Amino acid sequence: METTKTTVPIPDKKNIFTKQTFPVTGMTCAACAISVESIIKATEGVKDASVNYANQSAWIEYSDAVTIEEIQNRTRSIGYDLIVNEEDPFQAQQDQQQKHYEALKKRTVLAILLSIPITIIGMFFMDMPYGNYIMMTLATPVVFYFGRSFFTNAYKQAKHGKANMDTLVALSTGIAYLFSVFNTFFPAFWHERGLHAHVYFEAAAVIVAFISIGKLLEEKAKSNTSSAIKKLMGLQPKTVTVITDGKETEVPIASVVIGDIIVVKPGDKIPVDGEVTHGISFVDESMISGEPIPVEKSKDAKVYAGTINQKGSFQFKAEKVGGDTILAHIIKMVQEAQGSKPPVQKLVDKIAGIFVPMVIGIAILTFIAWMVLGTENALTHALLTSVSVLVIACPCALGLATPTAIMVGIGKGAENNILIKDAESLELGHKVNAIILDKTGTITEGKPVVTDLVWKADPKETTLFKQVLYSIELQSEHPLAEAVTEILKRENTASVVLDRFESITGKGVKATYSGKSYFIGNPKLMTQHQIEVDATLAEQASQWQKEAKTVVFFADDRTTLAAIAIADKVKATSKEAIRALHDRGIEVYMLTGDNAQTAQAVAQEVGLTHFKAEVMPSDKASFVKELQAQGKVVAMVGDGINDSHALAQADVSIAMGKGSDIAMDVAKMTLITSDLNMIPKALTLSSKTITTIKQNLFWAFIYNLIGIPVAAGLLYPYNGFLLDPMIAGAAMALSSVSVVGNSLRLKMIRFR
């Protein structure tokens, strides 16, 4: 993917600004994005910048007074990097993320393996010979090699006067480790004061291992970045066939210019926007309009890049190329929508922003208080209590509170045919109060089918007529023919050999069998050949048309034999699902590129009052923005490429499993069964998951609320009790166990 670059010329050269999007590497939390953004904005020559932690990118608007290399160096100075001067910077970013994930996975596994024997020795064989030295040897690589990222990230934050979860992990593990090393080499210091020289290597190692698991889960989500843009770009062929001096020549798409005559063969993707000059075919334009039935193209008809030609061949004149095509605009809109969202501020990060400085402050105050107010063992008590405060407050449970609940929630969703790609959708789902549904493939099946077939022929002759109808439709290239052959095939209809077959452009087909002529087509074809339309069939056809169904007649050379109604059927569960959403107090809207009559018929059938017809892809995204501007949390549900921009713009995006790969790539959730009843279930799952996360945070903090004052020595003046750091470590472990246990309760959710 190339960087987006727009240059706006202004007379004063100093005010010529370039706006570019770059991948950012090295960010591990939302606070990192804020740090990168602030350093870039502070660079002389930068007009504005926005860093997005969610998709690891930054757009920067800068003048000629500064080069992008200078901005890159400023970013590097605080430990992050911009990817510039790469042919495909976003691919380079994905490669780096994948390498980082693999390295983190290896470090996490090794940290767990080394922590197990440390924990066993520390808990059950504390007095074994050289036990402390063995634990120290095993704990050193865990804390300072496998856990080095916590220390480097804490240092980065400290340089900017900030603190986050990494700060508390680095402090607690670092102090617990150093305290244990001192006790290993100088146990006499404590023995002389009547105290046992405890070591806490297992606490330091287990903290690193547990938090690394949480980091690994988060990194996995980031490493599986969406390939939606690449797939959209893949809709444009690499080469095209151009007519030059009367000959067909294959050229790279980049060399196509306005006015070129391009040849499109059956099955080809149309490379650029243009106008048909010769030939007839049907083109699948569902990526733009959402309409499931391919559109007939003849001379002077418009064609669009990325749409797919069906069985016919034609030539067209290029009118819009490169970045001016409809497809290029869709790609740009999806990219901008994905990158314009503010960085996701996780609940834990917000809490940690207050909690971490408080814990550090309490530990320092504890040390000072004991030194000032303590007895003859003031230094001993000051060290023990301040270390106990940091160990008991170590955010193991805090770090596990969100990822464990999210992990179990995602697993529960998968069991119920709801694939969740991003934790953000689980976090926001319970807040959704407006849902937009695409029509084709979402509310409806997305494929034209025969809904009604009424015969007026003599029952004795019906079998033969079915065979003739089946045989004619087998040869027809019309997109609706397949729907008719499908229903007759299910009745085991046999085919016959036709004497003659003729396609009548825009109206239908004519065939001859056993010397008799037969016609299949619209009412205009019947009128043109002076075929009498049976009154009953005419009345039935009129009713079908009111229901927005396409009507096709089958006739011989004198009268109509049958009437066929074809439509994109509404899914059996759509009405029930929409009612369930209404019952939850959610406003439901339907947007479609189809005509107003069809849209109204579908809306009435499923009980919708809010709908819009003949909507273009950009209009769908604009409507999402409109609802968001009203303060609504918007979910978009779609299945086509034409929905991708709106899906990217929505707060919660849901794709139908039988839809396009691109829609599923952009969306944060995918419904495997394409059953709309899964949407209320997904929202319930979101609500339950958020409740579990809040409960987890409660359990994570209740130990701290009780334990920190006790660890600081609050009870000492009353009963002489001081909390041993070993017990503090056990309390920390217990809080982690309770959090994991509570998260597992999500597995027992029962959906209504």
d(CA 36, CA 340): 16
**Cα 345 to Cα 59: distance, rounded to the nearest angstrom:** 19
Tell me which residue of 385, 377, 386 sits closest to 191, measured CA to CA.
377
Residue owning tokens 């001192």? 182
Q: Are 62 and 352 in contact (CB under 8 A)?
A: no
Structure tokens at 130: 């050289």
**What does the alpha-carbon distance between residue 323 and residue 334 come to, in Å, rounded to a whole number?**
14
DSSP output for 356-382: HHHHHHHHHHHHHHHHHH--TTHHHHH
- CB contact at 8 A, 443 and 597: no
Of 159, 117, 108, the residue nearest 139 (C-alpha): 117
Name which of 340, 200, 318 is nearest 254 in CA terms: 318
CA of 719: how far to CAs of 21, 227, 366, 715, 723, in Å? 63, 63, 18, 6, 12
Burial class, 6, CB count within 10 angstroms (exposed 0-12 / middle 13-18 / buried 19+): exposed
491 burial via Cβ count (<10 Å: 0-12, 13-18, 19+): exposed
Sign of torsion, CA 285 286 287 289? positive
Q: Does the CA dihedral 557-560-561-567 come out positive or negative?
A: positive
* 573 alpha carbon, distance to own chain's centre: 25
Helices (H), ranges, 267-346? 286-289, 326-339
Query: Looking at this protein, which amino acid is placed at residue 377?
Result: N
Q: Rounded distance, CA 312 to CA 265, Å?
A: 7
3-state secondary structure of 88: coil
Residues 114/138, Cβ–Cβ less than 8 Å: yes
| Secondary structure in 3-state letters for 662-685 | HHHHHCCEEECCCCCCHHHHHHHH
CB 243 within 8 A of CB 305: no
Using an 8 Å Cβ cutoff, are 477 and 503 in contact?
A: yes
For residue 165 the two structure tokens come to 């979860």
Cα distances from 109 to residues 101, 169, 174, 451, in angstroms, run 12, 18, 21, 57
d(CA 244, CA 67): 43
Q: What are the distances in angstroms from CA 63 to CA 19, 40, 44, 264? A: 9, 13, 9, 44
Using a CB cutoff of 8 Å and minimum separation of 24, what contacts does 350-356 make?
A: 351/398, 351/697, 352/163, 352/164, 352/165, 352/168, 352/395, 352/398, 353/31, 353/163, 353/164, 355/168, 355/393, 355/395, 355/398, 356/163, 356/164, 356/165, 356/167, 356/168, 356/395
Query: Which among 422, 438, 568, 665 is annotated as catalytic?
Result: 438
Residue 434, amino acid = A
Task: Give me the DSSP letters along 231-286.
Answer: HHHTTS-SEEEEEETTEEEEEEGGG--TT-EEEE-TTPBP-SEEEEEEE-EEEE-H
Task: Tell me, yes or no, if 675 is annotated catalytic.
Answer: no
- Residue 460 has phi, psi (to 5 degrees) of -70, -30
Q: How far apart are CA 414 and CA 408, in angstroms?
A: 10
- Active-site residues, by number, are 438
